[in-house]
């Protein structure tokens, strides 16, 4: 767990890290949260303040059942980027359906306050069963009784937020490019773009789905889901303590990923800086989302030798074909008896490696997905590729171009059906007071 992910600051903390119940109650009163729910949150965050970098609260006597595995919503960066990658994902891209700038701000305030509560394992408002009998409940209820489950909620802004509607055109970061169409892309419009996005990651799928469902509900009248994606297993590690998971092709994935502990590299390749052009993005990042279908039926009829040559690593241990073990650096100069490089130049690893891309790196945070089958009985399954970068034009586009034009794995077995890019603003500092007039994610953009 990294510094900014520690659960060491309550949802309405004071500058010195103490709990400030009065603002929480004020905010609750202003936003119509029940006393019961507000007390639940205050209790949870007060307990959370006792947690340390040693990890989650799970199993600790001091942790209430609801706050177990709770990450802090507050910090210099949004949670869900360098946070140890959870195993489940619900991702949603939204269209903004209002032309009112004030309503967009109000939506971001509602989302921010709700996200901070959901991450503590608390219900929204009066809860699922505690509100007025004659009104729909404030919380849909399917996460009632479940712990926080490591939930992180990460908000992003798509190019549409910067169109003529909201007077934000001059604040659009140069890094938020219109994603080019890559050779071989077979995009399905139902998985493309979005004015806003929410990435909800958790260790329990019900918790991640509950978060998106309730945030979507809060957006009613202002934004509507354009497309969404569930992920059932992580395909990366974002910290050194985590095992390397396997992707839908059966290979270890995430071995050479950037990790939270690589702070210099993360500063260099992930976090935006004011000097990059837009001060409001300092401490933020850019999220590339690509829905990539894997032609499993073809891949599964391919020999082990061919599979390993296409990836550039062994299927068992994930070691590079040039030798060593999983975390040995690939050596692209080592040749076999036939004089050919052991790692083929057309392999995925050879083409995606920083040495082939001007040193560029990215923080991958993808998920396996399966969405049923097509009319021919083939699985609609693959990898929902998520990557955080500081500059998509120099860190993602050249790599994708190289993969699209030369990577045997990409050309023969992968079909990209969805694509989107979002600017992910920085986090909110501890001590921020939330509510109808309070702080919100992205506030510097509207300042
Ligand atoms: C444009 C960026 C990338 C896309 C798209 C992509 C798709 C994709 N990758 C795999 C499987 C593996 N990728 C691996 C490594 C790897 N992939 C990228 C980039 C993209 N992948 C990078 C930058 C790297 C690291 C290269 C390096 O530094 O060595 C690996 C090897 C293990 C690992 O390091 O993670 C596998 C396996 C799939 C299945 C996929 C789309 C479906
Ligand atoms: Fe890859």
Q: Give the per-residue pLDDT at 62.
A: 52
Per-residue pLDDT band at 39 (split at 50, 70, 90): very low
ipTM topping 0.95? yes
Going by C-beta distance under 8 Å and a sequence separation of 6 or more, which residues neighbour residue 327? 255
Ligand showing the shortest atom-to-Cα distance for residue 311 = 1
Pocket-testing residue among 242, 289, 349, 380, ligand 1, by greatest number of atoms within 8 A of Cβ: 349
Q: Residue 420 — φ and ψ, nearest 5°?
A: -160, 155
Atom of ligand 1 nearest to the CA of 330: 29
Quote the pLDDT of residue 392. Answer: 98
pLDDT digits (tens, 9 = 90+) for 58-97: 333 456 777 779 999 999 999 999 999 999 999 999 999 9
Q: Is the CB of 363 under 6 A from ligand 1?
A: no
Which ligand places an atom closest to the C-alpha of 385?
1
Give the model's pLDDT for residue 56.
Answer: 38
Antiparallel, parallel or unpaired: β 233-234 and 367-373: antiparallel
Q: β-strands 379-389, 285-294: how paired?
A: antiparallel
Distance 318 CA to ligand 2 centre (A): 13
Closest-CA residue, ligand 1 atom 20, reads 352
∠ CA 67-385-380, nearest 5°, is: 105
Sign of CA dihedral 109, 113, 118, 124: negative
Phi-psi group of 257: left, alpha or beta (phi > 0 → left; psi -120 to 50 → alpha; rest → beta): beta
pLDDT at 46 over 70: no
As to burial, measured by CB atoms within 10 angstroms (0-12 exposed, 13-18 middle, 19+ buried), residue 193 is buried
The rounded Å distance from CA 386 to ligand 2 centre is 11
The per-residue pLDDT for range 339-348, each reduced to its tens digit, is 999 999 999 9
Is the Cβ atom of 122 under 6 angstroms away from ligand 1? no
Q: How many angstroms separate the Cα of 282 from the Cα of each of 27, 144, 161, 386, 424?
A: 27, 36, 18, 20, 10
Q: Report how far ligand 2's centroid is from the alpha carbon of 352 (Å).
A: 7
- Backbone torsions φ then ψ of 23, nearest 5 degrees: -60, -35
Q: Is the CB of 365 under 6 A from ligand 1?
A: no
Instruction: Name the residue with the closest Cα to ligand 1, atom 17.
Output: 352
List, for residues 206-252, the tens digit of each pLDDT value.
999 999 999 999 999 999 999 999 999 999 999 999 999 999 999 99
The two tokens of residue 402 are 């190289």
Examine the pLDDT at 426 and tell me if it is beyond 90. Answer: yes
Task: Report the distance separating Cα 76 and Cα 284, nearest Å.
Answer: 9
Which of 180, 240, 253 for a ligand 1 pocket mutation test, highest count of atoms within 8 Å of Cβ?
A: 253
340 Rama sector, left if φ>0, alpha if ψ -120 to 50, beta otherwise? beta
- Beta carbon of 351 within 6 Å of any ligand 1 atom: no
User: How far is the C-alpha of 435 from the C-alpha of 432, rounded, in Å?
Assistant: 10
Q: Tell me which residue has its CA closest to atom 27 in ligand 1.
A: 353
Are 174 and 62 contacting, i.e. CB atoms less than 8 angstroms apart?
Answer: no
Q: Is 403's C-beta closer than 6 angstroms to any atom of ligand 1?
A: yes
Q: How does pLDDT run across 359-391, given as a tens digit for each residue?
A: 999 999 999 999 999 999 999 999 999 999 999
């Amino acid at each position: 767990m990294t510094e900014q992910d520690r659960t060491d600051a309550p949802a309405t903390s004071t500058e010195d890290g103490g709990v400030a119940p009065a603002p929480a109650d004020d905010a609750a009163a202003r936003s119509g949260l029940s006393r019961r729910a507000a007390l639940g949150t205050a209790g949870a965050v007060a307990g959370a303040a006792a947690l340390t970098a040693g990890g989650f609260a799970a199993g600790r006597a001091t942790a209430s059942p609801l706050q177990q595995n709770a990450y802090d919503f507050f910090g210099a960066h949004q949670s869900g980027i360098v946070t140890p990658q959870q195993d489940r994902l619900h991702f949603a891209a939204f269209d903004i359906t209002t032309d009112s700038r004030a309503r967009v701000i109000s939506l971001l305030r509602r989302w921010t306050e709700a996200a901070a509560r959901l991450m503590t394992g608390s219900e929204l408002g009066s809860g699922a069963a505690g509100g007025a009998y004659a009104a729909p409940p404030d919380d849909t209820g399917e996460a009632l009784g479940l712990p926080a489950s490591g939930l992180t909620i990460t908000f992003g802004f798509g190019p549409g937020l910067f169109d003529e509607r909201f007077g934000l055109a001059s604040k659009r970061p140069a890094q938020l490019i219109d994603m080019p169409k890559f050779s071989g892309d077979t995009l399905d419009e139902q998985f493309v773009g979005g004015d806003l996005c929410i990435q909800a990651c958790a260790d329990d799928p019900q918790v991640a789905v509950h978060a998106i469902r309730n945030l979507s509900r809060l957006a009613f009248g202002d934004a509507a889901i354009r497309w969404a994606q569930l992920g059932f297993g992580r395909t990366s590690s974002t910290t050194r303590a985590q095992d390397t998971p396997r992707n839908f092709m059966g290979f270890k994935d995430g071995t050479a990923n950037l990790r939270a502990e690589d702070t210099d590299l993360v500063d260099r390749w992930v976090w935006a800086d004011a000097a990059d052009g837009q001060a409001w993005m300092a401490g933020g990042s850019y999220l590339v989302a690509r829905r990539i279908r894997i032609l499993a039926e073809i891949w599964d009829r391919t020999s082990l030798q061919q599979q390993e040559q296409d990836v550039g690593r062994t299927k068992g241990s994930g070691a590079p074909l040039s030798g060593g073990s999983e975390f040995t650096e690939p050596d692209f100069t080592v040749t076999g008896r036939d004089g050919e490089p052991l790692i083929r130049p057309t392999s995925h690893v050879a083409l995606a490696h920083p040495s082939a891309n001007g040193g560029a790196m990215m923080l991958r945070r993808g998920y396996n997905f399966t969405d049923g089958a097509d009319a021919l009985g083939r699985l609609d399954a693959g990898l929902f590729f998520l990557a955080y970068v500081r500059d998509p034009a120099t860190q993602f586009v050249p790599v994708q171009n190289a993969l699209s034009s030369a990577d045997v794995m990409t050309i023969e077995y992968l079909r990209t059906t969805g694509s989107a890019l979002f600017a992910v603003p920085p986090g909110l500092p501890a001590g921020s007071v939330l509510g109808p007039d309070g702080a919100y994610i992205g506030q510097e953009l509207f300042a």
